[in-house]
Amino acid sequence: MNKAKRQAVIAGNWKMNKTPSEAKILLEEIIPVAKDAGCEVIACVPYVDLSVALDTVKGTNVKIGAENCHWAESGAFTGEISTGMLKEMGVEYVVIGHSERRQYFGETDETVNKRTKAALAAGLKPIVCVGELLWERECDITEEVIARQIKLDLYDVSAEDAKKTIIAYEPVWAIGTGKTATAEQAEEVCAFIRAELAKKYDEETAQAITIQYGGSMNDANAAELLSKENVDGGLIGGASLVAAKFGAIIDAATKG
Ligand code: 13P
């Protein structure tokens, strides 16, 4: 019942793939497969692709997101991009705290929290990624890990802002491995995330927040994952780079 009221969101996370000219070609393939979508469709692309991506999707239902942002408005932060820079371009969404940033680039819950608050303050919609490592799951501390990430990553984020935030549950062991969480595993953790959000905020706020699953979601497994009550969408890596596969996932989300 509540699922029907929430916005389903299918977002591609292109990671470090596609040059600007390649981005244009891929988006031109995505636009027709997304045009009848009954869900929000987003492509989160590398910074250097943002300009061409925004031009290419103009007048369509495909939205563009960035893959990160810094928390400061400006200053001596070589190599970083501010929320104001993204906002002025017309970017609407930004992925924050992806496990690859946590694993390879020293991202912590503290910096995820700062980036999330900065994105919200600038009027960007953050897609905040949480998820456990394989050994954390094996040690049976998945819920502890997720609860901690939700508390820290959304520290000092108001209920009103939390409703503008998408949470992406991405078990780290399922990313790029071809090893998808079963629909039951995905539902179990997404339901747990919603329960934590209800504890932190209230039931109404928790019910309004879109929770995505990410990790080897593809055209073959999307329908089952997306049929679950607490799985409101997907954050898709590899399969978002192939328009036909991404389109099939959009269709699965549209059918609910
Ligand atoms: P894959 O779909 O390639 O497993 O990547 C998932 C992901 O990390 C999306 O952010």
Residue 24 burial (C-beta neighbours within 10 Å; 0-12, 13-18, 19+):
middle
Would you say the CB of residue 13 lies under 6 angstroms from ligand 1?
Answer: yes
> Which pLDDT score, from 0 to 100, does residue 1 have?
54
The model's confidence at residue 134, banded by pLDDT at 50, 70 and 90, is very high
Is the confidence at residue 256, as pLDDT, over 80? no
The span from the CA of 38 to the CA of 43, in Å, is 16
The pick from 93, 95, 133, 170 for probing ligand 1's pocket by mutation, whose C-beta has the most ligand atoms within 8 angstroms, reads 170
Would you say the CB of residue 249 lies under 6 angstroms from ligand 1?
Answer: no
Bridge partner list, 9: 40, 233
The model's confidence at residue 255, banded by pLDDT at 50, 70 and 90, is confident
Are residues 101 and 49 in contact, defined by beta-carbon separation less than 8 angstroms?
no
The H helix count followed by the E strand count for the chain is 13, 8
Would you say the CB of residue 221 lies under 6 angstroms from ligand 1?
Answer: no
Instruction: Tell whether pTM > 0.85.
Output: yes
For 167, the 3-state DSSP assignment is strand
Is the confidence at residue 48, as pLDDT, over 80? yes
Mean pLDDT, the chain, rounded, equals 97
Least trusted range by pLDDT, from 6-15, 125-134, 161-170, 174-183: 174-183
Nearest atom within ligand 1 for CA of residue 175:
4
Q: Based on the residue annotation, tell me whether 98 is a catalytic residue of this protein.
A: yes
> Which pLDDT score, from 0 to 100, does residue 51 have?
98
- How distant, in Å, are the alpha carbons of 212, 227, 243 from that of 182? 14, 12, 24
Q: Based on the residue annotation, tell me whether 29 is a catalytic residue of this protein.
A: no
Instruction: Count Cβ neighbours within 10 Å for each residue of 154-172 and write b for 16 or more, e otherwise.
Output: beebeeebbebbbbbbbbb
The model's confidence at residue 86, banded by pLDDT at 50, 70 and 90, is very high
User: 10 Å Cβ neighbour count for 203?
Assistant: 13
Segment 213-236 mean pLDDT: 97
Least trusted range by pLDDT, from 100-109, 148-157, 178-187, 202-211: 178-187
